[in-house]
């Protein structure tokens, strides 16, 4: 059964959601990151997806205080992305309580460091984050496009122990129009030894049911929960298992 991973996107210590990665299309919510994390933990969620949007833009972690607050309870498995550009950043994120570090821009711009981290920390701790725009990988908080495809990254990092990849279709993110289902099915078939996490576009419980039926393993749900398109009780069969 597919695993639900709620997303908490953070700007200036607040919960936000962007539409298509546009910082100018930002919705800020009243609940704090810690409050949302506690709500998810109380609902039986095991893993959450934290994104430091300030960090992604600045090129260094900026919301570690929120990470420390959430990690202090020890109730959740935390994957953290945004602004991890050098060894000191990775060290700071892990020391603050992240269980997994999502590496995106650095994997594109300095792939040799990504290879080193995969070999040193393992593919369970170091997760590749691939954010796609028109088939190409975007970096720096989705503000820059690279010439690389997801397949370029997969072929480079699998020999070094890559095991988990979060793939986001930027055109779908925050739009509540449904995910790019075929993209994930194709990736799972091409790379059967890799765990792919669906990210972007989840709008209803039907989206999740379809992904589950197709055998996909993980899905990140963000805006649909904030906007009450999907309730936590509805997700109970996927969370409490």
Three-state SS letters, 156-223: HHHHHCCCEEEEEECCCCCCCCCCCHHHHHHHHHHCCCCEEEEECCCCCHHHHHHHHHCCCCEEEECH
User: How many residues are present in the chain?
Assistant: 241
- Residues 16, 28: Cα–Cα separation, whole Å: 4
Catalytic, out of 9, 52, 54, 207? 9
Burial 187-217 (b: 16+ CB within 10 A, else e): bbeebeebbbbbbbbbbebebbeebbeeebb
**What residues contact residue 88 under an 8 Å CB cut-off, 6+ apart?**
none
- Is 9 part of the annotated catalytic residue set? yes
Catalytic, out of 52, 54, 131, 207? 131
- Residues 189, 76: Cα–Cα separation, whole Å: 30
- Residue 9: strand pairing partners: 16, 51
Instruction: Give the active site residues.
Output: 9, 131
């Amino acid at each position: 059964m597919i695993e639900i991973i709620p997303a908490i996107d953070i700007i200036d210590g607040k919960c936000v959601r962007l539409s298509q990665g546009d910082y100018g299309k930002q919705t800020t919510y009243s609940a704090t990151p810690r409050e949302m994390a506690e709500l998810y933990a109380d609902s039986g969620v095991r893993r959450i997806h934290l994104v430091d949007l300030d960090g992604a833009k600045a090129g260094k972690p900026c919301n570690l205080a929120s990470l420390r607050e959430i990690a202090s309870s020890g109730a959740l498995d935390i994957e953290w992305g945004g602004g991890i550009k050098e060894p000191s950043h990775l060290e700071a994120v892990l020391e603050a309580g992240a269980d997994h570090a999502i590496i995106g821009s650095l994997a594109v711009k300095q792939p040799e460091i990504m290879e080193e981290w995969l070999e040193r920390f393992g593919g369970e701790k170091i997760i590749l984050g691939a954010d796609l725009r028109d088939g190409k990988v975007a970096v720096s908080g989705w503000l820059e496009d690279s010439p690389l495809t997801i397949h370029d990254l997969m072929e480079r990092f699998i020999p070094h122990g890559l095991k988990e990849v979060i793939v986001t279709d930027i055109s779908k993110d925050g739009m509540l129009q449904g995910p790019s289902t075929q993209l994930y099915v194709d990736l799972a078939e091409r790379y059967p030894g890799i765990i792919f996490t669906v990210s972007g576009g989840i709008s209803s419980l039907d989206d999740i049911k379809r992904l589950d039926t197709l055998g996909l393993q993980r899905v990140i749900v963000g805006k649909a929960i904030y906007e009450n398109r999907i309730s936590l009780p509805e997700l109970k069969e996927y969370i409490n298992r």
